[in-house]
Chains A and B, each alone.
Chain A
Amino acid sequence: MSIVLYRVDERLIHGQVVVAWGHALRFDTLIVVDDDLAASEWERDLYRLAAGEARAAFLTVDDAVDALPAAASGEERVVVLTRGLAAMRALGEAGLLDGADINLGGQHHAADRREVLSYLHLTDGDLRDIERLTALGARVAARDVPDATRVPAAQLLGP
């Protein structure tokens, strides 16, 4: 098993992931699962800049469903990133996330989102996705950087 982190973070590849999680996990490769990015070269060029020494790959959800099982049993230490919960849920529906830890790392303020944690603003749809991922066997929790407190899904969803 060498997928060392599944993370939902709107900013995708950025300092917290590359420096803070990079230091804690020593990953080799970042796999960004995002249909838009997989089709947009100039955006990939920009995100790749932020990856530092790690290799960055950009896959559609469909391609990721095919590629991730191989990554999970490979030698390289891989971090899987999605921009939002919808893409992560799609990976879960494909049966890839049973028993996996899903890290929620950052969703900014927007009109239809409410503040759950200072770095995590979620829509009602996001909350349903978290429930669904939990039902699919994933352990969902928020934690922006490795040193921060882990806030489990039950606490995010409230009573």
Chain B
Amino acid sequence: MRAVPFLSLARTFARSFLIQGSWNYRSMLGCGFAFAMMPSLRAIYRDDPHALRRALDRHLDHFNAHPYLSGVALGAAIRLEAEGADDEAIRRFKVAVRGPLGGLGDTLVWALWLPAASLVALVAFWLGAPGWLAAVSFLIVYNVVHVGLRAWGFRAGLAAGRGVGAKLAQADLAGLTGRLKPGAVVVLGALTGVLLTADGGLAGAGPGWMLAGVGAIGLGLGFGHRSWRPAAAVTVAVTLILGVWGMLT
């Protein structure tokens, strides 16, 4: 296997932050993936411009993944290229890896970590932390996990190559999501309580804002994506009752 210099790997990792930069419906992350691969491909194919061209070509293909986990695929693709895997093997790997990386990232980051970190910052704000402090601490806490996840994924991909699936299964990201979920629900409950009771919270908002809130919910139900479920109905009803009760007492 041909060693890829640390600097080239570092440049690929840095470029992976821009992987969504030319997102499009046809190839999705394809252009960004090729752009991020370029420094490492240049190192692997430094004496063979034709092979470099073919490699760049295959990485321009359709690709999709969660952006934070795209490093898993980049790392593994670099390893496959450095090991001299053939075109078909590399394409098949990328086709197989995009679904899991998308699914794991969506549930772990978009559905859990982003809302949970936002909720913690909102609770801190409503409990009286200055706005700038809540915002800055959100950015730090959120991004420590974000960048850590990217770095971990890139290293895991580089180390395991095509076998990265077994490594991801071992890390049990899906299980981690399951274990973190109850914590996020607790924070959501805390936010609701704080919103209702804090100074300047819902109870002190006045009837104008209450009506605006009800109107917004109505508009969302009428024109938005269907999400009318029993849990939503209960949440809205309880919030309204507590809000009105808060105004009257």
Contact = CB atoms under 8 A, between A and B. Distances in A.
Given A15-B106, A108-B62, A45 B166 contact: yes
Given A11-B99, A109-B62, A45 B165 contact: yes
Interface stretch (B6-14, B90-98, B240-248): B90-98
A47 B107 CA distance: 16
B26 A147 contact: no
Contact of B169 (A14, A43, A49, A108): A49
A47 B100 contact: yes
A12 interface: yes
Interface residues of B, number: 24
B102 A46 contact: no
Contacts of A50: 99-100, 102-104
A46 B165 contact: yes
13 contacts: A14-B99, A14-B100, A18-B103, A42-B162, A45-B163, A45-B166, A46-B164, A46-B165, A47-B96, A49-B165, A50-B99, A50-B100, A108-B62
A19 B99 CA distance: 12
Interface string B121-160: 0000000000000000000000000000000000000000
A49 B225 contact: no
Given A15-B103, A49-B100, A42 B163 contact: yes
B168 interface: yes
B115 to A, nearest CB: 16
B163 A49 contact: no
A49 B104 contact: yes
A52 B174 contact: yes
Interface of B: 25-26, 62, 92, 96-100, 102-104, 106-107, 162-166, 168-169, 174, 225-226
Main secondary structure of the interface of B (DSSP, over half): helix
Given A18-B103, A49-B165, A49-B168, A11 B174 contact: no
B225 A147 contact: yes
A108 B99 CA distance: 13
Nearest to A109: B26
A14 B168 CA distance: 16
Interface in A15-68: 15, 18-19, 42-50, 52
Given A14-B98, A46-B165, A52-B174, 10 more contacts: A11-B99, A12-B99, A19-B106, A43-B92, A46-B99, A50-B99, A50-B100, A50-B104, A108-B62, A118-B25
Contacts of A96: none
